[in-house]
Every structure is written in structure tokens, then in C-alpha cells.
Chain A
Amino acid sequence: MAQTEFDVIVVGSGPGGYVTAIRSSQLGLKTAIVEKNELGGICLNWGCIPTKALLRSAEIFHFMKNAKDYGLSADNVSFDLQKVVERSRGVSKQLNSGVGFLMKKNKVTVIKGTAVLEGKGALTVSGDDAGTYKAKHIILATGARPRVLPGLEPDGQLIWTYFNALKPDIMPKSLLVVGSGAIGIEFASFFNTMGADVTVVEMMPKILPVEDDEISAMARKSLEKQGIKILTEAKVTSVKKGGNNVEATIEKKGGKTEVFKADRIISAVGVQGNIENLGLEKLGIKTDRGCIVIDEFGRTNVEGIYAIGDVAGPPMLAHKAEHEGTICVEKIAGLHPHPMDKSKIPGCTYCHPQVSSVGLTEQACKAKGLDVRVGRFPFIANGKAIALGEPEGMIKTIFDKKTGQLLGAHMIGAEVTELIQGFIVAMGLETTEEELMETIFPHPTLSEMMPESVRDAYGRVIQT
């Protein structure tokens, strides 16, 4: 009989769960992790990672089609959808086995199956490793799944979720993407680049609704220039499925309706926590709006039961889950971690041009009544950006006028998902505008735009 008693059992092996399990083991706690599907969860099997693989293919395809812009020639450029998807699946597979290796290396027992809470400190698992398992601390990291809108129920054929969109059987000629968050916009960007006629429908007045207004507007302009149609303040009211296409009725701003024909629909209207069939009710664990309620260290209202990541509430991002899990298990081990500071969680969207941000938007600052200084620096004024052929984009920084605290950084343009970390570190270390302006950034890089944006906020910009 295998081990059934542990100090910590983590339920779910997404990026939050598996990182928590490793940290737990590092801290000397006897740790197990329960997973019903693939190690790595949505993130590396059906989310962040495989989409990045697809988008990379799209990016290279885009370059090939535009080779002449760089003095190169590439004729008869085409793609094989199945091979593109195969590569993406291969990337996920590689990382999936990587997580398996990490579990072994860190002596985390992997329990295959579906877990249900049996009471304080006990789980019943059904599946490969069925049985009852005990642990003083049980951390729920069950993640989230696509939200389903009535009338827009995914069927895997005509109406896709990201699961289907990651493994498309056909290349749709026309595509309706419902929802313009990161997932919706990334798929819109991918399928558009690969030649589909893409329309995005968003209920809110802007796309990428969590981003700064100015960045969102620039993203919209750029995507529209690439041929994506965008309808904001619009919603899908009904869908009529045909044999190999759908007719969606869209209610636009002002109440006018229009019928759109498309080969496929991707429903990307958000995700919701996986709180069902976990036995939460039996223990009286509190939930709110589809997520488990936790305190600043991941503790639920029931002693010994914790929750982290998507299931514990927004923002539903892998890096938030990892951090939350780490804090949670460090607290369990008796360390003194600092509570999660949700004001410093960055966000990235990998469309072309990329979008990234951390901290408050200018609108949020205004809403809070903060007196701010705002700096902007355009890609068109950066040598490296021009050399790369990526003159589109902007870096925007927001400072508290009184204290010089960096309140927010917002970027759009090439590679900005890799650039944002500089401002995250700055924010984390509490640097003021002074240090940022005085830090030497290497030339020629896109990163040079970062201190320039800061200087702009203080009327000292050099290159514009």
C-alpha cells in the first residue's frame, strides 16, 4: 500500500498547485499532489503555453509573408495547420513531463484521480490511485474552466472554447470571437494572422477591458488595421447552428441587431472557479461568486483547508496562483511571508502588438482621486524598434505626483511582455522616478524606452 498520510496535500497540479507542492516539500513537509488529468493543469496543457506556441507560428508566418519588408524573399508562403497544432501540443507534452520530473525530484507523491473532501484532513480519491488520503493541511488548487453563456454553450464543433481552438480541425474562413479579454484577443490575433476573417464581440466599451484606456484604444486600432473587426458594447443574443457554420444575432450599441455568419465561434467570455464536487458544502467552506473565500494567506473559514489560484478568486492568472500558493504553504510551515499584494500583479496579452501592464491604470488613479504624473514614450522614437521593423507601440508610466511612487506601467508593442518585468521589479523594490531615471539601460534596446517614459512624466524626456 502506498503512502496515504501527508503533511500537505495539494489538489490540482496547475501552475499554482505544482509550485505549491514543490515549495511545500522544500520546506520539509511531506507532500502529495492530486491530479485528475495532466500534470501542469490548464496553463501548460490548454492555456498559456500552447497558445504561445501557436502565436509563435503565426508570428513567423507573418514575417514570412512580409519578408520583402526586410529585403528577403519567401515565395508561396503557406502553412500546414495540423503541423502547427502538433508543434503546440509537443511543447505542452514536453513541459508536462517536465512537471512530472520536478515532482519526482522534489519527492512529491503524485496521486492520480479525482479528490473529494471527506472532512477535516481527509480526502477520498477516485480513479487510478483511489483511496482515502489524510493530511493536516489540504490546499485546493482546482483552477477554473471556461464560463458558459446561455445560448452560447460550446459544443466542440461549431462553438469552441479554448480547448477546441487549440486543436482546430479546420482553419475557419470566418470566425466570431466572443469576449475580448486576453484569451479572446490572442485567438483573434492567431486566426487572423493565419488568414481567417475575424470579428470580436465585446460587451464592454473597450477591448482588453482591464487595460488602460489609451493602451486598449491603441490595441484596437492596431488589430483593426490588421483586418480584425471589433464590435464593442455589443453582445451575442442568439446563435443558429447550421451544418458547417453558424448565424449569430448580435445586439449592437443602441439596440440594433445584426446577423453575422461565421464558420466557427470561440467563446472566450471568461473563466469560473472549479468549486463543484469538491465536498465544500459538507465542510461548510464559504464560497462567493463561484470562488472559494480565503484570507490573505489562502486560509478558508475551515481550519486545515486552504485554497489558492483561480479557484480562490481573481485575477485568474498563473503567476498569481504560484505566488498565492507559495505564501500559503510558507505560512503553514511557520514562516512569515507577506500577504499577497494584488496591486502589483502584472498582466500580459500576446497578440500582435503585445500588451503588458502592472499596477493602476490612469483611469483607476483618477477614480481613486490620486494626483498623478503620466509619461509616455512611443516606439517610433526608439532606434531598436525601428531596426526591428516594429515602430508601433508605446510605454506609459504613471507616478504619484507627491511621492514619486510608480503607480502603474502600461505597454503596447513588440516584446513588451518581456519588458514589463523591469517596472515590476522597480515597483516591488519601491523605487521612485529618481532611481528609474538614473538607471543606465543598455543601448540599443527596446528597454531604453522605459526610463524615457519616466523622464517624460517629469518633463525631462530626451528622445522625443
Chain B
Amino acid sequence: MPVTITMPALSPTMESGTLAKWLVKEGDEISSGDVIAEIETDKATMEVEAVDEGTIGKILVEAGTADVAVNAPIALLLEEGEDASALEGMTAASPAAAPAADAAPAKEAAAPEVSVAAGPAPTAADGNRIFSSPLARRLAKMNDLDLAKVTGTGPRGRIVKRDIDAAIEAGTAKAGAPAAAEAPKAAAAPAAAPAPAAGPSDAQVLKLFEEGSYELVPHDGMRKTIAKRLTEAKQTIPHFYVSVDCKLDDLLALRGQLNASAPRKDDKPTFKLSVNDMVIKALALALRDVPDANVSWTSDNMVKHKHVDVGVAVSIEGGLITPIIRRAEEKALSTISNEMKDMGKRAKERKLKPEEYQGGTTAVSNMGMMGVKSFSAVVNPPHSTILAVGAGEKRPIIEGDEIKVATMMTVTLSTDHRTVDGALGAELLKAFKGYIENPMSMLV
């Protein structure tokens, strides 16, 4: 009996993915551990390894197929001694492969297109149940609508299909599913918030431009995720911003010394610290010192994290991604630096594993290398804070009563007011500034 190879779940939250590429073809012999296909999720391309050995008998899902549900059969593997005739039953009449009554093709039967569960009755921000029909819930999910923003016209204000249809028509109530249910999903990134989703319709936008004067580029998974998550973040998180200037001269001096003294291996230094690596460490230590700010919001509880996992926004082609330095407060600068280098490289190749970019307790977005003086970033749940870092530049400062020249860097902390209040945010920034301006304290 041929073995069915199914779509793997590359992360606990993965529901479907794009089968990007087959690295084997029908008739190829494979052994356990061989890479047979590449699968694209919203953020990464991952390799699929064979579990069993045998001959690829039939490829059921073509390369380039999007939204292949997890556990859907993607190929059939012939075991030793089997030939292609063993496939006949599998692709046509076998109940395992084609249970649908009206002779639906195997692929369709095993991978129901309705992968969006209507789910249990949702609750509003105040914890009260939102009355809605199962169909309305499913349609809201499929269309990224927030039920809390839909007006119900059914009995006693129950939300029914016509209300969802009306919201879609009017382009209102966008913002993704209720935040609580979505929280631990892929971390997108700060800055560059997309246009508000509840804006004008596609047709209305296009009407403003002359036909032929533009090109339409379909959104890929990353663009959709960025748009969805940042819209949700900016609409559901009450942001406030705190800025501070940090004197960078001592840090730059220390960085120089440390890099100069880096042990060499194969005639190459074993690390090369960047200012950003030190900013990551400083933020991690600051959050260790001010643990009340190292938290996540859930509707019932304050999630107080015991470690600081710092997400670092990395700009990549077509978007950005936020790999995470775990337990950054415990890690040596050199470790942080090398991890960043590795993950930054793999991020650009879209080869990060979901666990490398999902979660985190805070984030850093650094646009200093682009000469930006200051900016504010969008908090990326489940984080409560994100630090926007500007360029280090020489500025005149006043010390005592004298004007001096110093290298200064402006940072702006964006904060979720539900979890971190103003004074706490200020305290966190003060601690951060302390580490930056007295960088030796980071080493001990």
C-alpha cells in the first residue's frame, strides 16, 4: 500500500501553506531525510524532508499551489516492491483518498476548501458574548472583519450574514479577528504601517489613477500579514510614545575596543559588534531591570515574562520580518551579534523557521543606518513595547553651561498603554539610556 505524504505543519499555528517547489519528480527514489519539497508560509520558505523511503509514485499537489491545508495529501510514495499499479486504488476509489460522494477528486476531498472554522462564540473587548450566527462568524473570519465592529440586525441584535455582507459592501469593520485569539501568531514588523484597511474600496482607489499609468502587483503572504497585523495593532493598541536622546560616545569607544580585541579564528575576528547589537542588549537589560514593562496583554491576565526576547526588525525584499533574540538579557554581546548576523542572513533568504520569528516580548527597529533622526514604530503584539532607533550623529549639546560636540542618538519607545503606563515607559527608557551611556555596565 503506497504511503501518503501529507502537507506538514511547520508551526503550531500553521493552517495552510503554498507548495512552492518540488525537488523530486515522479519516479525518483528517495530516502528518509531527503529534501523533497519547499513550502512557503506567510513568512518563510521551509524545506520538507522525507520521513519514509521509497519511490515517488504520484505528485498530487502541483508546485505553486497556494493554501494547501495542513495534513492534505501532497504525494504518494511507493514502498519497496510496489509499482505504479498500486496507485490506482489510491487515486480513484480508495475511501482514504476520495471519500466524497460525487466522485470529487482526491485532492479536493481530503483538503476541504473550508478551512476556516466558524469557531465558538466570540467575545467583545468587555468580555460580553457577541451574538452572531455561525455563518456570520465564518464569513467575518474569511474577510478579516472584527465582529465587535459589526452592527447586528438579527433578533436581539444578533449578527447574521446580511450584516457581514453589508460590512463588506461598506468596507467597514475591518481589522482581523478578535485580538486575543490571534495574539501568538507570526510577528510582523514595526514602522511603515499600511493604509487603513477600512479605507476606500479597491475600485475607488484605482479610479483615482489613469488606466495604464500603474502596474498591479498581487500581494504575497508577507504583505498580507504585515497589512493585517499592523492594522490590527494600530487599531486595537492604545499607543503612546516616549523619546530620549542618548550620548553615544562611550558606547562607540567601547565597541571599538571590544571589536579590536575580538579573538581571531582562521584569521577572522570571531565577532564584530554593531551599535544595534548593543542596543538590543541594552534594551534587554533595561527590561530585566524594569520587569513590569516586560509583559504581554491578554484580556484576562497580564502576562509577565521571565525573560526578555527581543525581536529585531529586518528589512528584506518585499517586506520585513522580525527574528527574535531569545533571553537576550542573559546573552553575551558577541552571542547576540553572531545570532543576529545568522538570522539576518536567513531572513533575507526567507529561510527563518516560524519559531525564530514568532513571539517575543519586545522589539527594536533601527533606521539609524539610513540616516533617520527619529521615528515612532508600531507595537507588534504580543509585545508591549518597541524601540525605534535613530542615527548616531554629532550634535551640539550643552553640558554645564558649555556647548560641546557629542555623538547623539534619539530613540523613541512606543508603548501599549494597556500594559505599560507613561511613568513605567519613562522608567524603562531611563534604564536603557543608563546602559547606553555607561556601556561597561552591559558587560558585567
Contacts and interface: CB of A to CB of B under 8 A. Distances in A.
B101 A461 contact: yes
Interface of B is mostly: loop
Interface in A47-75: none
A404 B135 contact: yes
Contacts of A401: 113-114
A456 B99 CA distance: 8
Contacts of B134: 429-432, 434-435
Interface string B70-92: 00000000000000000000000
Contacts of A431: 133-135
Interface in B86-120: 98-102, 104, 109-110, 112-114, 117-118
Contacts of B118: 404, 432, 434-435
A35 to B, nearest CB: 33
A374 interface: yes
A375 interface: yes
Q: How large is the interface on A (under 10, 10 to 19, 20 to 34, 35 or more residues)?
A: 20 to 34
Contacts of A435: 118, 134
Interface in A367-381: 373-376
A459 B108 CA distance: 10
Contacts of B113: 401-402
Interface stretch (B20-28, B136-144, B413-421): B136-144
A463 interface: no
Nearest to B110: A459
B247 interface: no
Interface string A361-405: 000000000000111100000000000000000000000011111
A457 interface: yes
A6 interface: no
Contacts of A403: 114, 135, 138-139, 142
Interface string A447-464: 000000000111111000
A460 B99 contact: yes
Contacts of B135: 403-405, 430-432
A72 B142 CA distance: 58
Interface in B349-365: none
A456 B101 contact: yes
Interface string A177-196: 00000000000000000000
B160 interface: yes
A459 B100 contact: yes
Contacts of B161: 405, 430
Contacts of B153: 338
A9 B139 CA distance: 43
B114 A376 contact: no
Interface of B: 98-102, 104, 109-110, 112-114, 117-118, 133-136, 138-139, 142, 153, 160-161
Interface of A: 338, 373-376, 401-405, 429-435, 456-461
7 contacts: A338-B153, A405-B161, A430-B161, A434-B117, A456-B100, A459-B99, A459-B101
